Chain A
């Protein structure tokens, strides 16, 4: 069933990745440049910059409070950074408005599921197709032909996504009644219904059982490989991150401490310190080390490490 839906989606996805590559092969889809953000005087994000290449899965990892969600919120327009720039598909912005992000094809999920709980699975997904509406508000109110064709097309797209996330049988269920793992899928589906160019996933595997994680990881991978969607995700599970991502960015206390291919990053001493902890007597010696990692990563952003 889902294979059928996928093959239906494949042509448009192929053409999408084609136009993406023609518009700028080599230039990253998303680049963050020296982004800083504070909350009540606390620096949540400190001059962080990294790039997300077209078609890759990039994972943003780091301990709690490292600034991962804040960065994602900067990209989707929830937060306005104090300094720095966001470059999406060659367009540089000092900050992003949520509506602009949505129009550019940036879709997201939230750390705590942010579904419309009273609505059915299908209606939740339909909200994702909002920006593909062509007919005006008045045409929709009066049910004119263009509005009806919108409706048909959007329902068909939603049916396709339902197949992809494997929830066709649950389409009329109220989303609040579904188990947690399925709700996570619906949220992913809602983001996918917008046909995003960049998908931001804020802890897509949080709170899941091992088997649910496995299924979700397969889903994320198939979205990336079959639909060609570029994905930036936040995850704590190092094993999953290593398996899933092409590129890993590690944050700690609002700074970037490593940036590169997963196998390189997981051997980085600063990363090991941040994840396993350093005892406080030696941490003063550890600071220059992490500073070094930051500067080296900044001078050779991702690409060099990926080639290696």
Chain B
């Protein structure tokens, strides 16, 4: 039983890491209907930039704000240079644009920082601590706490600030928002900047967990089932879905995988996601349809 809880909690905490990537997607999708495939590349780029700065003997306290500013700028730039020109195009066009962007960002990262693998140390040891007989990774707890802070901050921005009100207005009804003088490009720019910051947080945590390497941009593929299960438009949904995916893949690996020779962790979330697509295509918290103007 103790082993079961260890697997369950480990899975839940891993799920939080998936949610963190997925939240970046939800923000942009909600505000502009764009499925931003480049979110993974942004995660990679942020981690790589930070780690490269630190390796060039910059203090982490200087490297962090520089990386943060870079990500804000990158988000605003992508919106202004690419997506603003593609307003009202088909979702497929927008998706292809972000797919292209993801390769460009990866290529630029490599040109800028090189292709070698880096270790990233955040100063949080990845050692288990014991809580009433169950061993839990300290790093995972730290990551979950960071995610909680980030979600709380996002919800504060969304509910308490004028930007947040404008953002939710644009997400709900872009036409009505436009008629009130809310500037859609400005709101989209802000959302891309915020998604850049979310990518930074995810990049640092994932980078510290797996090492900073180019396969980091593939965390997108882990976020995809989370998005399908949680619904593309709900941050709460991505958190719940992240927990479901994390817990179920680890439990499946341990209890079912052993019967099948293992290795089901990689594809089990997609089985879940396909199940959801068939039974509940809008996901747990998703809206029935996204109307575009």
Contact = CB atoms under 8 A, between A and B. Distances in A.
B252 interface: no
Contacts of A99: 178, 181, 183
Which of A78, A98, A126, A140 has the most chain B CB within a 10 Å cutoff?
Answer: A98
A78 B162 contact: no
A133 B161 CA distance: 13
A115 B169 CA distance: 8
Nearest to A110: B176
Interface string A114-128: 111111000100111
Nearest to A187: B176
Contact of A127 (B169, B183, B190): B169
Given A114-B175, A141-B161, A130 B168 contact: no
A39 interface: no
A184 interface: no
Contacts of B161: 140-141
Which of A76, A108, A137 has the most chain B CB within a 10 Å cutoff?
Answer: A137
Contacts of B165: 119, 123, 126-127
Contacts of B163: 137, 140-141
Which of B169, B177, B182 has the most chain A CB within a 10 Å cutoff?
Answer: B169
A89 B19 CA distance: 52
A101 B179 contact: yes
Interface in A125-150: 126-128, 130-131, 133, 137, 140-141, 147, 150
Contacts of A78: 175, 179
A233 interface: no
A128 B180 contact: yes
Size category of the binding interface on chain B: 20 to 34
Contacts, number: 72
Interface string B180-204: 1111001000100000000000000
B175 A116 contact: no
B121 interface: no
A212 interface: no
A197 interface: no
A103 B181 contact: yes
Given A116-B169, A133-B162, 14 more contacts: A101-B179, A115-B173, A116-B176, A119-B165, A119-B169, A123-B168, A126-B162, A127-B166, A127-B177, A127-B182, A130-B180, A130-B182, A137-B190, A140-B163
24 contacts: A76-B179, A77-B179, A78-B179, A99-B178, A110-B175, A110-B176, A115-B173, A115-B176, A116-B168, A116-B173, A116-B177, A118-B172, A119-B168, A119-B172, A123-B165, A126-B165, A127-B166, A127-B177, A127-B180, A128-B180, A130-B181, A137-B190, A141-B163, A150-B162
